[in-house]
């Protein structure tokens, strides 16, 4: 009796929610893979309807969705897309979340508070996700909230390469708080590899009790006099802290100040503040779509699509992600 040879065909299916349509198209172009047809609708009462246009049975399904405004709708939409893929017998479901919402609610700062970043992780796992791919989490330990693999990508090399091509002179990389020191150190190391004389500094800031999105920049710790400063953070939200840091650095002798962040949340008065700030350029990525009313000359948007596309290809081929960043995708 002749032996039977089983040949397993892997299928890569890329889909997007309404929070990342432009970015997903860029990822699709990088991978030279079409986006899977999806029906996404919102009923009059606010409920969300999802249906896959093609069979996902036995496929590796990658669902791209940034948790951008309206945040709760985008999260719910991704959860429903995961559930639909699971019920349609997808082999493996990967939630690709360029911007992970509620990441700043990663611990209890006082009594009777939630840990919402953990709740989001629990909801994704309960919906049926097998793996998560995300970019520059607010704190790396959020990866431990998931009972499954998390591939943590970073835009730091991309941001450093861009600014390294723009800046002339000695550079001080500034963390807006002590907690961002590791990110700033990596940024400085990358600039040193490009031949720059770099120093590190951080802003000593105080957050008034019982306030939201408010912090007071009080002092600079580090050498900034006569140097170009680059403030590096994971996100720019209302830009209050960043703009206060710019004023402080200029008052301490910085010749120019740049801002670099992965996620341009840019909520509330952020754009107005950035327009008035004495900052040379604000460099972000497109993990969050930048609406037309927020597109000002000072803001430069870099595409994270090549990084995400390469990572998804590695996941599909069961290759290493950390090798993409020489093990520094903290």
Residues forming the active site: 205
Helix (H) or strand (E) holding 26: helix 21-31
Burial class from Cβ neighbours inside 10 Å (0-12, 13-18, 19+) for residue 81 reads: buried
Spatial separation of the C-alpha atoms in residues 138 and 155, rounded to whole Å? 13
Give 64's DSSP letter: E
- CB within 8 A of 109, min separation 6: which ones? none
How many other CB atoms sit within 10 Å of the CB of residue 240? 18
- DSSP reduced 3-state for 260: strand
Spatial separation of the C-alpha atoms in residues 202 and 225, rounded to whole Å? 14
Pseudo-torsion of CA 74, 107, 266, 321, nearest 10°?
-70
- In this structure, are residues 242 and 231 in contact, taking their beta carbons and an 8 Å threshold? yes
- SS3 breakdown of the chain: % helix, strand, coil, rounded to 5? 35, 25, 40
- In this structure, are residues 271 and 246 in contact, taking their beta carbons and an 8 Å threshold? no
Give 9's DSSP letter: P
């Amino acid at each position: 009796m002749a032996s039977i040879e089983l040949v397993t065909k892997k299928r890569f299916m890329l889909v997007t929610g309404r929070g990342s349509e432009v970015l997903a198209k860029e990822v699709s172009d990088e991978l030279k893979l079409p986006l899977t047809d999806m029906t996404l609708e919102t009923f009059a009462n606010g409920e969300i309807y999802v249906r896959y246009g093609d069979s996902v049975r036995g496929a590796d399904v990658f669902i791209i969705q940034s948790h951008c405004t309206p945040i709760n709708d985008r999260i719910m939409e991704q959860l429903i897309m995961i559930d639909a893929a699971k019920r349609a017998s997808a082999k493996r479901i990967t939630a690709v979340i360029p911007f992970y919402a509620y990441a700043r609610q990663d611990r209890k700062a006082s009594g009777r508070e939630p840990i919402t970043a953990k709740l989001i992780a629990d909801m994704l796992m309960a919906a049926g996700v097998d793996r998560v791919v995300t970019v520059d989490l607010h704190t790396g330990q959020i990866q431990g909230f998931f009972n499954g693999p998390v591939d943590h990508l970073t835009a730091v090399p991309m941001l450093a390469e861009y600014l390294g091509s723009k800046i002339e002179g000695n550079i001080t990389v500034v963390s807006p708080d002590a907690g961002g020191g590791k990110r700033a150190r990596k940024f400085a190391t990358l600039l040193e590899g490009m031949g720059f004389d770099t120093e590190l500094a951080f802003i000593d800031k105080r957050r008034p009790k019982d306030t939201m999105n408010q912090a007071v920049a009080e002092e600079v710790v580090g050498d900034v006099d006569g140097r170009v400063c680059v403030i590096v953070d994971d996100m720019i939200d209302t830009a209050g802290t960043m703009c206060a840091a710019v004023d402080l650095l200029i008052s301490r002798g910085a010749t120019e100040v740049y801002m670099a962040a992965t996620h341009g949340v840019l909520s509330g008065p952020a754009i107005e503040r950035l327009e008035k700030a004495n900052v040379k350029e604000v460099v972000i990525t497109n993990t969050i779509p930048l609406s037309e009313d927020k597109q000002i000359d000072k803001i430069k948007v870099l595409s994270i699509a090549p990084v995400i596309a390469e990572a998804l290809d590695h996941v599909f081929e069961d290759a290493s992600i950390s090798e993409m960043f020489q093990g520094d995708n903290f």
